[in-house]
A and B are shown apart, each in its own frame.
Chain A
């Protein structure tokens, strides 16, 4: 067998212009419920079904895994969650989302909502922690970092836009929000960079939190710019001052960029890398090569009908047209063709059995092309219309777009697709009103978070035209501060509203697929945590 090779280059000098704040769009959000309580929080539904790979845990060695896209910076305040693996290694979050979807302590030792309205979260930090640059981890430092992330206008800043932070002691602080937010702890886990805490030294010059500089976090590893080549590979070494050495499973970590998934599969097959993310098209080949496939169908993929007032595509302004689109898609066929055993057809934004799922509308959009044609005719589009749709080369969106195009053609709707090749262009297309609809993906999140991400006017990405419904806003606000039973009922009402008004045309619950060698353990996902976290991975014997 050929020995594992490392891609290495001598590092050049590292002077850079200190002002850039790259940030790209969110395509998916975090999954699962967060209960308004103190201490560890769990979602029983989410933790019930976990996909995992790996043998017995050992310690040490080098973790080498692949990512598809290179990050534009290492600034947690501005970075999109698509790149969170690059920052979570060096910047510990306040809270930790386990592979089972539970929220556990990290920098925060304990936390508690006070006042009964999910508006104030009191947090206590662990004692004796330091950042890798030597600064102590204090309440003042954490407050400054959260304020920076709120104001830095990254793609997840909207989670904190109405939040204020106040240090109430050396190690205690309070987060206060104007709108009830029962999910606050989950939004500050490692899955979102805004929850990753930056030291005062780092915040003194946030523009220097780039790829040529040292990191300023309190995480288990520190970035080594001298051994990294941006765009190719990123090297981290164990942080000697980390407060919990048992969580440092590796001596060092290397993330390599593999734009081509077949190349990543070849590298994993020949033991050059231990793990990579891919899609269903690689599953059979990966399994026959001896790799483990870890997958949970937790990403709602399909068509996001964002021009609901018909600004650029007048037809979409008519609810009957949006309903017709939903009736026209044969979800069983598309799901089987694209995702095989790894997908589940859906037209709801809530997964069956989870928060918000509507039993009453469980069969609402069963495939019915005749009904679709009927509705189109009633809306004055008996001869169809042209629908520009944005898709992308990643996450299987291009193939999903082609499948939807074929389905809609059957009822006379002519879809023209524009395939984006990178996250920045995709983000821009979703928000600049150049497309009435786009193909995308979104986690199986509770209805509360769906409001933040999908359907409130402030949810930029999945509501690019800023559609506002007073009825929907009211339902969401009531649910945010309601008792659990009332909230469950209100969440179903919200789902019913979204379905009956056809705000979206989901097609399937698709998995994020991980392919792992037997040298790595802890690569686990669940419906509550569909993205595997490198913090959980360990060397397997």
Chain B
């Protein structure tokens, strides 16, 4: 395990550094003048120039990057040029919400995907075909539309769950769970489709192998054959898919945050991009990269738990 973590650190640090450099350079190439956007259309060029100086935008790129990097290493990602709020503070207030969405949706995708995949592999016949069809539909339906259908049916018509909003668990655990149900279903159900397909294929392969016959011949209970042996061996590719799902969901949260009006990182990223808020974009790029890296680490550690050979 420690080897995995050390290897991960050796990879993560250069990747983070590279991403920060690339984002910084690309952000500087984006057309638009933040000082003009801040000061408005009546500001004189002198005022715009003065604010550019104050913001440090007239410094050479390497100097600006070094200033940002030294701040970032101390936990200071700068301040938004649009609303003047610290980037670290804005991200800190939202990262827990986005994490709830991603982790919750991955759990929904894993539970549904594995359940459908195993059932389909074992039962075969029309049920297997049905799972294939449902998985295909799950991958094809537009997420935005699916989210709106959920809202219309379960919030607007049936009034079972709130249509919008997010409640902090510190305020009400029940309210928090209720506010998350529809967003998690909207994100998790379409994500379950590839998991189900991968699980089904993996289980079919494993169940056809000789060791399964041997286990059965030894009189091992069928439940143990399926879940302790076949599913465990089929799990590695499923975990890979779940890792990809988690990374894709990082982008997918923008959709859920928009439809369900949830104050997460996705909405912050959209607003920052459209308003040339470079410090916020920069901070978010680093945080998103870190999330992806952490997901990768989690997948590798889970691999190691499931498959001892991967611990080497």
Contact = CB atoms under 8 A, between A and B. Distances in A.
A313 B276 CA distance: 27
Interface stretch (A177-185, A255-263, A374-382, A520-528): A255-263
Interface in A209-246: 210-212, 229-233
B40 A80 contact: yes
Interface stretch (A14-22, A167-175, A352-360, A489-497): A14-22
B64 to A, nearest CB: 16
A73 interface: yes
Interface string B201-234: 0000000000000000000000000000000000
B41 A2 contact: no
A21 B152 CA distance: 41
B90 to A, nearest CB: 8
B33 A428 contact: yes
B41 A12 contact: no
A400 to B, nearest CB: 20
A158 B44 CA distance: 13
A270 B162 contact: yes
Contacts, number: 187
Interface stretch (B17-25, B81-89, B110-118): B81-89
A289 B90 CA distance: 36
Interface in B151-182: 151-152, 155-156, 159-168, 170-171, 175, 178-179
Nearest to A13: B89
Contacts of B79: 16-17, 20
A189 interface: no
Interface string A239-282: 00000000000000000111110110011011010000000000
Contacts of A15: 86
Interface stretch (A3-11, A139-147, A361-369, A442-450): A3-11
Given A263-B261, A424-B276, A72 B164 contact: no
Contacts of B275: 422, 424-425
B259 A2 contact: no
A259 B262 CA distance: 11
Contacts of A18: 84
B167 A7 contact: yes
B82 A421 contact: no
Interface stretch (A101-109, A111-119, A149-157, A297-305): A149-157
Interface string B97-117: 100000000000000000000
B32 A270 contact: no
Interface string B230-263: 0000000000000000000000000000111111
A258 B42 CA distance: 29
Contacts of B258: 259-260, 263
B181 to A, nearest CB: 11
Nearest to A262: B148
Contact of B165 (A7, A11, A231): A7
Interface centre among B93, B262, B268 (most CB of A within 10 A): B93
A267 B163 contact: yes
A436 to B, nearest CB: 18
B163 A263 contact: yes
Nearest to A26: B41
Nearest to A15: B86
B interface residue count range (under 10 / 10 to 19 / 20 to 34 / 35 or more): 35 or more
Interface string B262-302: 11000110110011100000000000000000000000000
Nearest to B97: A9
A80 B54 CA distance: 23
B124 interface: no
A74 to B, nearest CB: 10
A264 B200 CA distance: 40
Contact of B164 (A24, A231, A272, A422): A272
Interface in B57-99: 79, 81-86, 89-90, 92-93, 97
B47 interface: yes
Interface centre among B40, B93, B161, B275 (most CB of A within 10 A): B40
B311 interface: no
A6 B260 CA distance: 12
Given A9-B263, A231-B268, A22 B83 contact: yes
B42 A428 contact: no
Contacts of A46: none
Contact of B83 (A7, A20, A270): A20
A20 B86 CA distance: 12
Given A7-B263, A12-B93, A20-B38, A267 B81 contact: no
Contacts of A19: 54, 84
A195 to B, nearest CB: 16
Contacts of A20: 38, 79, 81-84
B164 A258 contact: yes
Given A5-B165, A153-B44, A23 B83 contact: no
Contacts of B43: 23, 153
B159 A211 contact: no
B306 interface: no
A68 to B, nearest CB: 11
A270 B260 CA distance: 13
A25 B260 CA distance: 29
Given A16-B84, A70-B271, A427-B41, A5 B263 contact: no
B37 interface: yes
Contacts of A233: 263
A78 interface: yes
A229 to B, nearest CB: 6
A7 B166 contact: yes
A1 interface: yes
A264 B270 CA distance: 18
A25 B32 CA distance: 15
Contact of A229 (B32, B93, B152, B170): B93
A414 interface: no
A155 B42 contact: yes
Contacts of B178: 2, 5
A262 B32 CA distance: 30
B118 to A, nearest CB: 35
A272 B178 CA distance: 14
Contacts of A11: 93
Contacts of A210: 83-85
20 contacts: A9-B97, A10-B168, A12-B93, A13-B89, A16-B79, A18-B84, A20-B38, A20-B82, A21-B39, A153-B42, A158-B42, A211-B85, A231-B83, A258-B261, A267-B164, A269-B163, A422-B275, A425-B274, A425-B276, A427-B41
Given A19-B54, A21-B38, 20 more contacts: A2-B155, A5-B178, A7-B164, A7-B167, A8-B168, A9-B168, A10-B168, A12-B89, A23-B39, A78-B40, A154-B42, A157-B42, A210-B83, A231-B90, A258-B164, A258-B261, A266-B163, A267-B261, A427-B41, A428-B33
Interface of A: 1-2, 5-13, 15-25, 70-73, 78, 80, 153-155, 157-158, 207, 210-212, 229-233, 256-260, 262-263, 266-267, 269-270, 272, 289, 421-422, 424-425, 427-428, 430-431, 460-461
Which 5 pairs between the two chains have the least Cβ-Cβ distance? A23-B40, A232-B263, A20-B84, A266-B163, A424-B37
